[in-house]
C-alpha cells in the first residue's frame, strides 16, 4: 500500500487525533486492502455485469470509505463502468454511507465531468440486463450529478427514473431543481415544480427558497414575489431566508424603496419572517453600492424602532459609503449614533480613518487619527501602520516618530507592522535625527522588533556613528 493511502486511512480511523501506533495503522490498512481485493476479484470475474449487484450482496468483506476508495482507484483505470456500479451499490449498504467527500472522490476518479456518458451507460446496462434499479440507487446517481453541478445530466436521470417506474420524491426533485436554478434555467425549474403538483407531490420550503433565489438571480422579481405569496397556500410560511433572497434580488434589480417596504412587511409579520441584522446589512450594502449612502441612513432609524442593533459590518459599510459619496461629517455622526449598540468606538474611528485614506482624503484621515489619540481612543494596527507609512513616504519622518510615540504612550495594544518601525528608523537616520533614532531603536530592542530588509546595515552603521555601539549590536541580533 502506498504511503498516501496509509495516511488517508489514519485520518479516517483516527478522527480524534489520539496517538496510534504504526503497527495499528498497517493492520487496519491491510484489512481494508484485503476487503478491496475481495470486491475487485468478484467485479472483474463478472465484467459483463449480469447479476453483479446480487453477487456483491453475498460478499462478507468489510465495506468502509477506504475500501470503496481503493476499488474506485483500480476500476477508474481498468473499467470505470463497473466502478460506478460498485459505487452505486455501496451507497445502499446498511452498514455504510457515502460521505460528501466520497461523492467528490468518485466524481473525480471516474472522470464524470469529462465522460458523463458513463452514467447513461450504467443506466442503459441496467435496462439491457433487466435489472430494475431502486429509487435509492437513482438518488446516489443524482448526488453525483449534484457534485458536478450538471443540470442536464440530472434532468436526464430524473426522466430515466420515471421511465423505470421509480417514483421520485420531493428530495429528488429538489436536487434537480437546484441544479437548474444554479444554471439559470428557471423555466425548466418552474416546470418541474408544476410537475410535482401533477403527481401529488408538494413543493417544500427548500423547493420554494431555491426557486425564489434563482428567480431573483436572473431579475424575475415579480414572479419571485408572487411565489412568496403562493407558498402560504401550501402551508409553507416564508421565513427570513426566503425574504432575504427576495430582498437581495430587489436591491440588485429593483427599486430600493421597494426593498424598504419589504423590510417593513417582514417587521410586521414577525415570527420566522422577522428581519435580523444580516437582513438589514444586505439592504445597506446595496444602497451603498448604488451611491445612495445618505438614503441608507434611514435604515438605522428603522432598526432602532424595531429593536435590532447594528453590527460592525453594517456600520463599517455605511461609513465607507458615506465617505466615498463625500459625506464625511455624516459618517462621523453615524459613529456617535451607534455608540450605544456596543460597537467599540476605537473600531469605528479606525475604519473611518481608513475609509478616508482609501478615497484620497489624506488630510482628513490624519486629522481624525490625531483626534483619536487626543481623545484617548486606540487606533488598530492596520490604521496606525497605514498613516505612519504615508507620513514616511511624504518625508514627514518626525511626524511619524511623534505619532508612533503617542500610540505607545496611549498603552495601545494594537500591533504596528515591524516594517513600519524599520522604515521609520531608516528615515530618522537619513535625516540625521539621531536622538529620536536612538530612542526608537531602544524601544524596538525592548519589544523585540526586528529590523527588516535593506534597512539593517544603514541603521546599525548610524547607531555606531553616534556612539550607540551596544544598541547597534542588540538591534542587529534580534531574530524573528
How deeply is 381 buried, as exposed, middle or buried, from its count of CB atoms within 10 A (0-12, 13-18, 19+)? middle
How far does Cα 144 stand from its chain's mean position?
A: 22
What pLDDT sits at residue 411? 60
What pLDDT sits at residue 26?
37
Q: Which element (helix H / strand E) includes 346?
A: helix 345-358
Which three cell numbers mark 227? 411565489
Please tell me the predicted confidence (pLDDT) of residue 11.
46
For residue 472, give the 3-state DSSP assignment. Answer: helix
C-beta neighbour count of 3 within 10 angstroms? 7
| Rounded average pLDDT per 10-residue block, the chain, 480 residues | 42 46 40 78 80 86 90 91 94 90 93 91 91 92 92 94 91 96 95 92 92 92 89 81 85 81 84 84 90 91 90 93 93 87 88 94 93 90 92 93 86 72 90 90 87 82 85 81
Check: CB of residue 189 under 8 Å from CB of residue 211.
yes
User: Hunting for cell 431543481 — which residue is that?
Assistant: 177
* 387 burial via Cβ count (<10 Å: 0-12, 13-18, 19+): buried
Count, residues in the chain: 480
pLDDT at 276: 87
Report pTM: 0.68
Amino acid at each position: 500500500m502506498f504511503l498516501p493511502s496509509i495516511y488517508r486511512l489514519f485520518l479516517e480511523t483516527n478522527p480524534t487525533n489520539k496517538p496510534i501506533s504504526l503497527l495499528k495503522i498497517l493492520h487496519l490498512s491491510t484489512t481494508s486492502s484485503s476487503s478491496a481485493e475481495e470486491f475487485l476479484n468478484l467485479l472483474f470475474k463478472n465484467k459483463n455485469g449480469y447479476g453483479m449487484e446480487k453477487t456483491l450482496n453475498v460478499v462478507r468483506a468489510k465495506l468502509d470509505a477506504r475500501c470503496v476508495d481503493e476499488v474506485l482507484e483500480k476500476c477508474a483505470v481498468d473499467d470505470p463502468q463497473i466502478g460506478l456500479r460498485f459505487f452505486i451499490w455501496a451507497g445502499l449498504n446498511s452498514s455504510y454511507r457515502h460521505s460528501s467527500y466520497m461523492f467528490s472522490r468518485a466524481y473525480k476518479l471516474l472522470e464524470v465531468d469529462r465522460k458523463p456518458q458513463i452514467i447513461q451507460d450504467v443506466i442503459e446496462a441496467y435496462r439491457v440486463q433487466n435489472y430494475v434499479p431502486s429509487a435509492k440507487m437513482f438518488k446516489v446517481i443524482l448526488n453525483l450529478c449534484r457534485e458536478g453541478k450538471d443540470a442536464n445530466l440530472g434532468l436526464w436521470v430524473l426522466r430515466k427514473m420515471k421511465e423505470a417506474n421509480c417514483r421520485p420524491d420531493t428530495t429528488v426533485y429538489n436536487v434537480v431543481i437546484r441544479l437548474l436554478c444554479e444554471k439559470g434555467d428557471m423555466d425548466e425549474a418552474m416546470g418541474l415544480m408544476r410537475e410535482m403538483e401533477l403527481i401529488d407531490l408538494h413543493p417544500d420550503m427548500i423547493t420554494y427558497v431555491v426557486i425564489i433565489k434563482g428567480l431573483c438571480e436572473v431579475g424575475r422579481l415579480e414572479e419571485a414575489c408572487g411565489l412568496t405569496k403562493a407558498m402560504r397556500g401550501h402551508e409553507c410560511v416564508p421565513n427570513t431566508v426566503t425574504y432575504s433572497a427576495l430582498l437581495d434580488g430587489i436591491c440588485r434589480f429593483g427599486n430600493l424603496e421597494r426593498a424598504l417596504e419589504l423590510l417593513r412587511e417582514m417587521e410586521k409579520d414577525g415570527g420566522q419572517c422577522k428581519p435580523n441584522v444580516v437582513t438589514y446589512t444586505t439592504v445597506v450594502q446595496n444602497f451603498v453600492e448604488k451611491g445612495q449612502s445618505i438614503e441608507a441612513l434611514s435604515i438605522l432609524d428603522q432598526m432602532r424602532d424595531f429593536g435590532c442593533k447594528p453590527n460592525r459590518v453594517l456600520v463599517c459599510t455605511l461609513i465607507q459609503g458615506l465617505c466615498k459619496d463625500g459625506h464625511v461629517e455624516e459618517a462621523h455622526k453615524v459613529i456617535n449614533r451607534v455608540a450605544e449598540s456596543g460597537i467599540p468606538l476605537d473600531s469605528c474611528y479606525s475604519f473611518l480613518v481608513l475609509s478616508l485614506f482609501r478615497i484620497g482624503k489624506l488630510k482628513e484621515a490624519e486629522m481624525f487619527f490625531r483626534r483619536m489619540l487626543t481623545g484617548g481612543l486606540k487606533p488598530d494596527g492596520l490604521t496606525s501602520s497605514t498613516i505612519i507609512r504615508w507620513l514616511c513616504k511624504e518625508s514627514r519622518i518626525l511626524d511619524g516618530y511623534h505619532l508612533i510615540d503617542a500610540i505607545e504612550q496611549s498603552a495601545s495594544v494594537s500591533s504596528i507592522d515591524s516594517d513600519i518601525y524599520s522604515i521609520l528608523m531608516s528615515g530618522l537616520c537619513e535625516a540625521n535625527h539621531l536622538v529620536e533614532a536612538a530612542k526608537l531603536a531602544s524601544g524596538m530592542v525592548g519589544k523585540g522588533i526586528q529590523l527588516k530588509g535593506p534597512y539593517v546595515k544603514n541603521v546599525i552603521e548610524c547607531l555606531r556613528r553616534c556612539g550607540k555601539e551596544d544598541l547597534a549590536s542588540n538591534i542587529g541580533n534580534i531574530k524573528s
